[in-house]
Amino acid sequence: MKKALIVWGGWLGHQPQEVAGIFRDVLQEEGFEVEVSDTLESFADADKLKALDLIVPVWTMGQIEKQYVANVSAAVQSGVGLAGCHGGMCDAFRNNVDWQFMTGGNWVAHPGNDGVEHVINIKHSSSTLLAGIDDFTVKTEQYYLHVDPAVEVLATTRFPVVPGPHSLNGAVDMPVVWTKRWGVGRVFYCSLGHQADIVEMPQVKLIMRRGFRWSAEGKQLAADAEAAAAVGSKYTGMGDSN
């Protein structure tokens, strides 16, 4: 059975406890053994983190020990998946650039604040992660993020929808859903999820469900690839000795 750790807290305006509960239910439906924690001390045990298949942060803003980030980073690099949404993952720990580098982006603004109606455009790319999900409209915060150019973008939203100092730059397709690699670990992010009602939207919930599965599969795939490489190296060595 795959193991997942959900760690929630930080700014309560994002309803982290409620969102963590939704994620717990989704993961249990997917057959995960799930631990839910409300303390960052859950990131203190590096060996325990490496024994997981998936880490799900639900923690907006706040401060974190550098060693805790190093422990999470080492776990993900070893193959453990990292997946989250909205400020719970990419507006966490604003003072820690290592976290931002690992997750692939960081929130900087939501012009118009909450209640902005905008369209989520699903991209057709080499990834089939969002296959079968059509473009859809949401009325919530529209996240403007600074994004790692290494990510694979799976969905976008068009800016500007509301006026602001960014408007004269013209139209910008801002990433909403992306994946990236951190070591051999898989990282998944969706910027939707301001509060629990948005996470409960069928499209958003399905996106997160698929993201959790995809991220958690990386550990076994990495182990299989390493085993295959070891076997190949063994046979190559045998051939060289003849």
Q: Count structural domains, the chain.
A: 1
Distance CA 114, CA 194 (A): 8
Better pLDDT: 22 or 231: 22
Tens digits of residue pLDDT in 148-173: 999 999 999 999 999 999 999 999 99
Query: Does 138 reside within a domain?
Result: no
Cβ-based neighbours of 238, under 8 Å, separated by 6 or more = none
Query: Does 208 reside within a domain?
Result: yes
Find the CATH number of the domain harbouring 232.
3.40.50.880
The token duo for 214 is: 């995809």
Mapping DSSP to helix (H, G, I), strand (E, B) and coil, where does residue 204 land?
Answer: helix
Tens digits of residue pLDDT in 58-88: 999 999 999 999 999 999 999 999 999 999 9
Distance CA 146, CA 175 (A): 9
Range of the domain at 81: 3-105+177-240
Distance CA 181, CA 102 (A): 8
Q: Contact at 8 Å (CB) between 188 and 214?
A: yes
According to the model, what pLDDT value does residue 3 have? 98
Average pLDDT of span 21-35:
98
| Distance, first Cα to last Cα, the chain | 43
According to the model, what pLDDT value does residue 126 have? 75
Burial readout 144-160 (b: 16 or more C-beta within 10 A, e: otherwise): bbebbeebbbbbbbebb
Query: Does 10 reside within a domain?
Result: yes
Residue 15's φ and ψ, nearest 5 degrees, are 50, 55
Cβ-based neighbours of 144, under 8 Å, separated by 6 or more = 107, 108, 109, 110, 111, 159, 166, 174
Specify the amino acid at residue 239: G
Query: Does 157 reside within a domain?
Result: no
According to the model, what pLDDT value does residue 230 have? 80
Q: Is the pLDDT of residue 241 over 60?
A: no
Tens digits of residue pLDDT in 120-151: 999 987 789 999 999 999 999 999 999 999 99
* Residue among 133, 151, 132 nearest 189 (CA): 151
pTM of the model: 0.94
Mean residue pLDDT of the chain comes to 95
According to the model, what pLDDT value does residue 195 have? 98
According to the model, what pLDDT value does residue 235 have? 63
